[in-house]
Amino acid sequence: MDKLPYLNLGCGATFHKDWTNIDFVSSGTGVIAHNLLVGIPFPDNSFEVIYHSHVLEHFPKAKAEDFIKECYRVLNPGGMIRIAVPDLEAIALNYINYLNESLAGTKGAAEKYDWTMLELFDQVVRSGTGGEMIDYIKDTSKNNDAFLLERNGYEVKRIMEIFRSAPQPPAATVSFSMSKKLKGLKNKVQTKFISLVLGKDYAAYRTGKFRLEGEIHQWMYDRYSLKRLLENSGFKNAEVKIGFESGIPEWKKYNLDGKDNVLRKPDSLFMEATK
């Protein structure tokens, strides 16, 4: 079957085989590896639909408009873009709510306040993979799983299962091929050399390298700033959508924002616009 004229940018491991799928690093067969910071590798007016979920916030603010303008360029006239990003407005409202509840001594509010602070800051300031969010999720003493699932959907459920069950790795994952061993050795040698050259500055180098690798959030958006960004890039009719609601034909069947009526990232702001 030929590909649909639909494009999924920064797809990670969530993609549909009938779409054209691109990410900075390929996560599997059918995913094109490409640095989206330098543009989208297709001619003008190539697609009817463009979608990206929790990608835009990883672009530096100064590069965000360039990226959205690239989306506009490769979209057909009358085509539709759908964007999902962490919802800054919802996080801010939660912060005020759980702050007041914590001050009032409401049971369970302090744990929700702590997580909301992580939503606001952890992916901006972290200097290592997972940041404090992973430590919070791994901590079973919080008794806050229902709230975490409400905020983060089945993705956080998967993380809970991985980190809390601590299964023994299967033999296939314990045994590495010689090429992987050599690659690991090469990386260790490079790391050792850099640490010797930089000395006390190595920690700063390591932190800087991590912060450039794409995990951290460079900016956040609410329904006003995202609509303005789209309009400044040429789009029109920008409007907020709720969960599985979409102007894209048969949207739910692609299971990109979730499946079985369960959202993958319920903390999202969803917005669509047309060219």
pLDDT tens by residue, 175-215: 333 333 334 444 444 444 334 443 444 343 333 333 334 45
Q: How confident is the model at residue 147 (pLDDT cuts 50, 70, 90)?
A: confident
**Which strand ranges, in their side-by-side order, compose the sheet holding 236-241?**
31-33, 20-23, 6-9, 47-53, 75-86, 268-274, 236-241
Q: Give the pLDDT confidence score for residue 200 in this predicted structure.
A: 44
pLDDT, average across residues 65-84: 98
The residue behind tokens 């450039």 is 212
Query: What would the pLDDT profile of 249-262 be if each residue is shown by its tens digit?
Result: 999 999 999 988 88
How many Å apart are CA 63 and CA 254, to the nearest integer?
Answer: 29
**Residue 126 scores a pLDDT above 70:** no
**Residue 41 scores a pLDDT above 50:** yes
Lowest mean pLDDT among 53-67, 71-85, 209-223: 209-223
**Residue 10 scores a pLDDT above 80:** yes
Tokens of 128: 């290592």
Query: What would the pLDDT profile of 77-121 be if each residue is shown by its tens digit?
Result: 999 999 999 999 999 999 999 999 999 999 999 999 998 998 888
pLDDT, average across residues 137-156: 73
145-165 and 109-125 helices, crossing angle to 10°: 60
